[in-house]
Structure 1
Amino acid sequence: MSYDLIIKNGLVILEGGEVKTDIGVKDGIITGIGHGLTDGETILDATGLIVSPGMVDAHVHITEPGGSYRDQWEGYETGTAACAKGGVTSFVEMPLNQIPATTDGKTLEIKYNAGKGKLKVDVASFGGLVPFNLDNGGIKEQHEGGVAAYKCFMATCGNRDIDFDFMNVDDYSLYEGMRQIAKTGKVLAIHAENAALTDTLGDLAYKSGETSLKSYVESRPVFTEVEAIRRAIFFAKETGCRIHICHVTCPEGVAEVTKARAEGVCVTCETCPHYLYFNTDELDAIGQVTKCSPPIRDKENQKELWKKVLHGEVDFVVSDHSPCTPDLKESENAFEAWGGISAVQNSVDVFYDEAVQKRGMPLTQFADLIAANPADLYKLNQKGRISIGKDGDFVLIKPDAPYTLKAEDLEYRNKISAYVGRKIGAQVVQTILRGKVIYNKDSGVTKEFSGNYIKVK
C-alpha cells in the first residue's frame, strides 16, 4: 500500500504500550502501523524521538471576535499557531472571553465565522451555560450547532459593563442548566469556586491594603474550591447531568471526584501543568503572569496533587490558555491584574519533562492524559490515539533536550508567559495534523491554515 506520509523509526505510543515501529497515513487517516513501511510520498525519520498522539487540549480561550473590547487579545491565527508549535493538534475552545460570548445558536455561528480560514489546528467548541440562556432555547440551539460540551462558572466572571459578555451561574441557574444539558447527553464543564466566599475574602484583603500574589492565593483557599466541587456533584446527582470539574488545583478536590465516581456519579476532572510546576512561594518573584483562578498553591499541595495525577485519579491535563494584553498584567497589585496564564504552547514539553522524565510516568499514561481521555469525554472520535482509522495527528518529542524559553519563541499575539526564562527538558520538534506537517523545529509553523471546526452532533 502507498501512503502520503510515513513516520519511521520512532518510539510510537500505542494503546498497548510504546514500540519502535512505522506509521502510514493516507488521506489524513492512519492506515498502516508496522515495521518496514516504505512506499510513502513523504518519509519522516523519527529516530530518537517519541511519537505521541497530538495533544487534545480541552481547555483553551481564544478571544475572537473581540467586539472592539478585546480585539488585541489572542486571535485564531496566533492562538492556533502556538498550538502547532506546542504539539497541540486539536482543542476545545471556551465560550468566553470573546464578545459576544457563546450562549446560543446565533453567537455560536458568529464564533464559527470568526475562525473561518484562520485555523492551523482543529477546533471543537464549548457552549455556554449562563443565567440568561435558560429560557430562550440557547442550550438546545448550541447542542444542535455541534458544541462538544458546555461550560459554566460558579466563580464570578465576566464584565457587566460589556453587553453580551459571559456570566457566572447562581445555584438555580446551575440546577436548571444541568437539567437542560442532561437532555442533550453532553457534559457540563465547571469552574468550581465559591463565588460569595472568594469575592468577599478578596475584597477584604484588597481593602486592607494587600497587594501580593501570595495574598491573592490566600483569599481563595482550598476549601472554597472543594465546597463548590461538592455542590456541583450534588446537583449532578439530582439532575443526572454528566459533569467535568475544570482545572482542579488541590488533592482534596480530586478526592471529591474520586469518591463521587465510586458512588456512580458521571464526573471527571482535569488539572493544568502550571499547578504541577509553579508554587505560591515563587509567584511574586515571577510576577502577575502567574495569576490565575483557581490560584497556584503551595509546594505540599502540589506534591499531593502529583500523587493524584500519577495514581490515575485525574482524567486529563489541559493548558487553560487564557491570555490577555500585557497592560492588564502590569499592575503592581495582584488583585487588580487580569487572571489567566498563556500556556498552550508549552503544555506538551513542560508536562512531558515533569511527568515522564522527572517522575517516571509511563508513556501510555502520558498519552492518555494529553490526548485519549479528553477526546473520549468530548466525543472527538477521530482524535486522541495512534490507531488505524484515526486522524493522523502526531507530536514528535525530543526527550532529554533542554532549552530555555524566550519571549521571541512564543507564537502568541502578546508574547508573555510564565514559562519565559525557564529551562524545559524536552522539545517539540514536529507537529502533524491529519498527515500534514504544521510545525517543524527548523522551518517553524506552516503558513497554511489546515485546521477545521469539529462539530459534535
Structure 2
Amino acid sequence: MDLVLRAARVITPDGEVAADVGVRDGRIAAVTGIGRLDGDRVVELADDEVLLPGLVDTHVHVNDPGRAEWEGFGTATRAAAAGGVTTVVDMPLNSLPPTTDVAALEVKRAAARGAVHVDVGFWGGIVPGNAADLRPLHDAGVFGFKCFLIHSGVDEFPHVELPDLTAALTALPDALTIVHAEHPHDVTESGPDYAGFLASRPHRAEDHAIADLVGVARETGARVHVLHLSSGSALALVADAKAEGLRLTAETCPHYLTFVAEEIADRATQFKCCPPIRDAANREQLWRGLRDGVVDLVVSDHSPCTPELKEGDFATAWGGIASLQLGLPAVWTQARRRGHALPDVVEWMARKPADLVGLRRKGRIAEGADADFAVFAPDDAFVVDRNRLHHRNPVTPYHGRPLAGVVRQTWLRGRPVTGDEPRGRLLSRGET
C-alpha cells in the first residue's frame, strides 16, 4: 500500500469498526482488521480520533466568478477542507454569469481550474427561456438543475412558474432537479425585526410549494429534490410522496438543526436565511424527520456575502448563512444530544449527498472509493471564532458558539490537504 491509516474507530458502511484502511493510487484498496496491513507510510490515529469518509456538500454557493468578493473557489474549498468536506457541488447562481448555458459553465470551470483544494462539481440552472440549454448542460456534465419557485435574490437568475418546471422535467426525466420551494403568493413584505421577517415567510409558503412539487413529480415521474427544508409541517407531504413511490427527496441544513427563532435578536442579521430559521418545536420536528428517514441528508447551503450586505435589518440584509467549515461539528453537537451516533451523521453528510448526485466513489470508506477522509475528534470542543475561519468574509451566526468535535486533518485521494497546494479536481456527472 502507498498509505495505511490505522484507527480504533473507523466509520464504514457497515458501522463503526477498528480497522486498517489501505490506500493505493489515491483509492481505498483494502479495509481490514486493525494491524493487518503494511504500507510505504503508516499513520496511526490518536486514541480520541475517528476516521470518517470525507463529507460531501452538494449545496454550496461559491459566487465565483463575478462576485468573488463574496467568496471564491480558493477560500471556499479551504474552508470545506478545514471542516472535513472533500467534495462540494457549486450552485449556479450568485456567480456572474449564472450557470444557465454551456458557455457560462465553461466560464465557471475556468475560474475554478487550478484553484480548488477539494473536488468540485457544478449544478446547472433552470430559468425562464433556457429550455433549449438544458440538454447541452446535462451532456456537459452538470449534476442536475436548480430552480426557484420564488425570487432568487438576484435578478439575473429569475424564478420559474410551474408550467416551465413541468416542461423542463418532462424534457429531462433522467435529470435531477433541485428546487427552492417557497410559494410567492404566501410570502409578504418583511418587517425589520426577526419576528416580522419570520412572519413574512410562514410555514405555508414552503408547504404550498412542496405540495406543488409533489404534483409535478407525480405528473412527470422525474427526480425532484427539495432544498433546505425548514418547515416541520411539510414533513408529512414528503413522507407521503415517498410512500407513494415518487422520486422525491429532501435535505435540511445545520442552521435549521441548531438555531431557534426564540434566540435570534432583532438586529442579528447574520441569522437571516430563506426559508427562515423557525421555532424550537419546529427544530425538533426536523430532527425527527432525519431520524425517520423523511429528510434524506444535511448540507450547508453556504451562502456568504460581504459584511456590508449583512448590515441593516431583517428587511434589507442579504439572506444567506456562511457555515461551510462548521457543518460537521454543528450537526454532531446537536445529534449526540438526541442519541445519534457518528454513523448517522456520516450517512446524512457523506454517503447520502454523494448518492444524490451519483458520486459512488465518494462519501464512504470502502474498497474502490476515493481515499478521502476526515480525522475527527468527537469529544474535543472549541468556541467558534469568526476570525479563524477560512471563509472570505468573517460573518457567521456561529461566532462565539461552543461546538463539540474538531476536524484535525483532511485527506484527499490519499494526501493531506494543507491549504497550500490546490489539488482538487473538477468533477462531472457520470464519473464513477
Q: TM-score, normalised by structure 2?
A: 0.96
Q: Is the 8 A contact 2:193 2:266 kept in 1?
A: no
Q: CA deviation at 1:158?
A: 4.2
Partner of 2:108, secondary structure, is helix
Q: Percent identity?
A: 39
Residues 1:366 and 2:366 are matched in the alignment: no
How far apart are the structure 2 equivalents of 1:102 and 1:158? Answer: 16
Aligned partner letter, 1:98: S
Q: CA deviation at 1:38?
A: 4.6
Rate the CA distance shift 1:426–1:124 in 2: closer, same or farther, 3 A. Answer: same
Rate the CA distance shift 1:286–1:87 in 2: closer, same or farther, 3 A. Answer: farther
After superposition, give the CA deviation of every residue in 1:213-239 in whole Å (9 maximum; x if it has no partner): 221011101011011001011011111
How far apart are the structure 1 equivalents of 2:307 and 2:198? Answer: 21
- Correspondence list, 1:4-23, <5 A: 4-23=2-21
Work out which of the residue numbers 161, 175, 178 in structure 2 matches 1:186.
175
Partner of 1:427, secondary structure, is strand
User: 2:427 — aligned with what?
Assistant: 454
After superposition, give the CA deviation of every residue in 1:157-194 in whole Å (9 maximum; x if it has no partner): 1433xxxx211111221111221221xx1210111000
User: 2:275 — aligned with what?
Assistant: 294
Aligned length, in residue pairs? 428
Partner of 2:339, secondary structure, is coil
Q: Is the 8 A contact 2:22 2:37 kept in 1?
A: no
- Correspondence list, 1:161-240, <5 A: 165-182=156-173, 185-198=174-187, 201-202=188-189, 205=190, 210-240=191-221
Q: CA deviation at 1:98?
A: 0.2
Q: CA deviation at 1:398?
A: 0.4
Work out which of the residue numbers 108, 117, 120 in structure 1 matches 2:105.
108
How far apart are the structure 1 equivalents of 2:152 and 2:264? Answer: 23
Residues 1:146 and 2:141 are matched in the alignment: yes
Q: CA deviation at 1:37?
A: 4.0
Q: Is the 8 A contact 1:181 1:188 kept in 2?
A: no
Aligned partner letter, 1:448: E
User: 1:42 — aligned with what?
Assistant: 41
Q: Is the 8 A contact 1:10 1:48 kept in 2?
A: no
Partner of 1:425, secondary structure, is strand
After superposition, give the CA deviation of every residue in 1:29-82 in whole Å (9 maximum; x if it has no partner): 00021122453233222132121111101100011111xxx2411100000000
Partner of 2:320, secondary structure, is coil
Q: CA deviation at 1:95?
A: 0.5
Q: Which runs of 4+ in 1 moved over 3 A?
A: none
User: 1:60 — aligned with what?
Assistant: 60
User: 2:314 — aligned with what?
Assistant: 334
Partner of 1:402, secondary structure, is strand
Q: CA deviation at 1:286?
A: 7.0
Partner of 1:401, secondary structure, is strand
- Correspondence list, 1:66-145, <5 A: 66=66, 70-134=67-131, 137-145=132-140
Partner of 1:148, secondary structure, is coil
Partner of 2:374, secondary structure, is strand
Q: Is the 8 A contact 1:10 1:45 kept in 2?
A: no
Partner of 2:285, secondary structure, is helix
User: 1:442 — aligned with what?
Assistant: none
Partner of 2:21, secondary structure, is strand
Q: CA deviation at 1:144?
A: 0.8
Work out which of the residue numbers 326, 334, 344 in structure 2 matches 1:354.
334
How far apart are the structure 2 equivalents of 1:158 and 1:140? Answer: 26
User: 1:395 — aligned with what?
Assistant: 374
- Correspondence list, 1:279-290, <5 A: 279-284=260-265, 287-290=268-271
Partner of 1:261, secondary structure, is helix
Q: Is the 8 A contact 2:57 2:299 kept in 1?
A: yes
Q: CA deviation at 1:195?
A: 1.6
Q: Any unmatched runs of 5+ in structure 2?
A: none
Aligned partner letter, 2:344: Q
How far apart are the structure 2 equivalents of 1:358 and 1:13? Answer: 19
Q: CA deviation at 1:285?
A: 5.8
Q: TM-score, normalised by structure 1?
A: 0.91
Q: Is the 8 A contact 1:318 1:370 kept in 2?
A: yes
| RMSD after superposition | 1.3
Q: Is the 8 A contact 1:341 1:418 kept in 2?
A: yes
Aligned partner letter, 1:412: H
How far apart are the structure 2 equivalents of 1:14 and 1:159? Answer: 41
Rate the CA distance shift 1:75–1:39 in 2: closer, same or farther, 3 A. Answer: same
How far apart are the structure 1 equivalents of 2:329 and 2:276? Answer: 22
Partner of 2:164, secondary structure, is helix
Q: Is the 8 A contact 1:214 1:284 kept in 2?
A: no
How far apart are the structure 1 equivalents of 2:350 and 2:307? Answer: 31
Aligned partner letter, 1:148: F
Aligned partner letter, 2:325: Q
User: 1:441 — aligned with what?
Assistant: none
Q: Is the 8 A contact 2:80 2:325 kept in 1?
A: yes
Q: Any unmatched runs of 5+ in structure 1?
A: 439-444
How far apart are the structure 2 equivalents of 1:373 and 1:399? Answer: 21
Q: Is the 8 A contact 1:286 1:418 kept in 2?
A: no
Partner of 1:254, secondary structure, is helix
How far apart are the structure 2 equivalents of 1:40 and 1:17? Answer: 25
Partner of 2:122, secondary structure, is strand
Partner of 1:44, secondary structure, is strand
How far apart are the structure 1 equivalents of 2:29 and 2:125? Answer: 37
Residues 1:344 and 2:324 are matched in the alignment: yes
After superposition, give the CA deviation of every residue in 1:246-284 in whole Å (9 maximum; x if it has no partner): 011122222211100111110000000100110112222
Partner of 2:379, secondary structure, is coil
Aligned partner letter, 1:451: G
Aligned partner letter, 2:23: V
